[in-house]
Amino acid sequence: MLKGKRILLVISGGIAAYKSLELIRRLRERGASVRCAMTKAAEQFVTPLSVSSLSGEKVSTDIFSLTDEAEMGHIELSRDADLVVVAPATANILARMAQGLADDMATTLLLATDKPILVAPAMNVRMWLHPATQRNVEQLKQDGVAFVGPNDGEMACGEYGPGRMAEPLEIVAAIEAQFGKPLPKHLMLVQPPPAQSLKGRKVIVTSGPTHEPIDPVRYIANRSSGKQGHAIAAALAARGAEVILVTGPVSLPDPPGVKTIHVEAARDMFSACFLNLPADAAIFAAAVADWRVAVEASQKLKKTSDTPPTLRLAENPDILRAIATTDAKRRPTLVVGFAAETENVVAYAKKKLASKGCDWIVANHVGEGSDTFGGDSNRVHLVRQDGVEDWPRMSKAEVAAQLADRIAAFFSESAPVVKLTKPKISKGRS
Q: Is 247 in the site for ligand C5P (CB under 6 A)?
A: no
Does residue 316 bind ligand C5P (CB under 6 A)? yes
Residues 102-141 that bind ligand C5P (CB under 6 A): none
- HSE-CB at 277 with a 13 A cutoff on CA atoms is 21
Compare residues 108 and 247 and give the one whose CB is closer to ligand C5P: 247
Size of the site for ligand C5P (CB under 6 A): 13
For 353, phi then psi, to 5°, come to -55, -45
- Alpha-carbon distance of 389 to 275, in angstroms, equals 33
Q: How far is the CB of 197 from ligand C5P (least distance, A)?
A: 23
The mark string for 251-290 relative to ligand C5P (x by CB under 6 A, - otherwise) is: ---------------x-----------------x-x-x-x
The CB-of-225 to ligand C5P minimum distance in angstroms stands at: 14
Cβ of residue 356: shortest distance to ligand C5P, in angstroms?
6
Tell me whether residue 112 or residue 311 sits nearer to ligand C5P (CB atom).
311
Among 104, 242, 318, 359, binds ligand C5P (CB under 6 A): 318
Contact pattern from residue 147 through residue 186 relative to ligand C5P, giving x for each residue in contact according to CB under 6 A and a dash for the rest: ----------------------------------------
Site for ligand C5P in 326-345 (CB under 6 A): 337-339
Please identify, using beta-carbon distances, which residue of 86 and 361 lies nearer to ligand C5P. 361
- Least distance (Å) between residue 254 CB and ligand C5P: 19
Rule CB under 6 A: choose which of 77, 87, 203, 319 binds ligand C5P: 319
231 interacts with ligand C5P by CB under 6 A: no
Instruction: Using the rule CB under 6 A, give the single segment among 54-62, 190-198, 298-306, 312-320 that binds ligand C5P.
Output: 312-320
Choice between 244 and 286, CB closer to ligand C5P: 286
Count of other CB atoms within 10 angstroms of residue 364: 24
Print the binding letters for residues 185-224 with ligand C5P: x by CB under 6 A, - otherwise. ---------------------x------------------
Q: Backbone phi, then psi, for 122, in 5-degree steps?
A: -155, 120
Task: State in angstroms the smallest separation of the CB of 347 from ligand C5P.
Answer: 14
Backbone φ and ψ for 175, nearest 5 degrees, come out as -65, -45
Q: Identify which of 265, 237, 269 has the alpha carbon closest to the alpha carbon of residue 407.
A: 237
List 36, 157, 273, 358, catalytic entry: 157
Q: From the CB of 339, what's the least distance to ligand C5P, in Å?
A: 6
> Is 36 among the catalytic positions?
no
Report, in Å, the least distance between residue 430 CB and ligand C5P: 7
| Interface ranges with ligand C5P (CB under 6 A) | 206, 266, 284, 286, 288, 290, 316, 318-320, 337-339
Catalytic residue list:
157
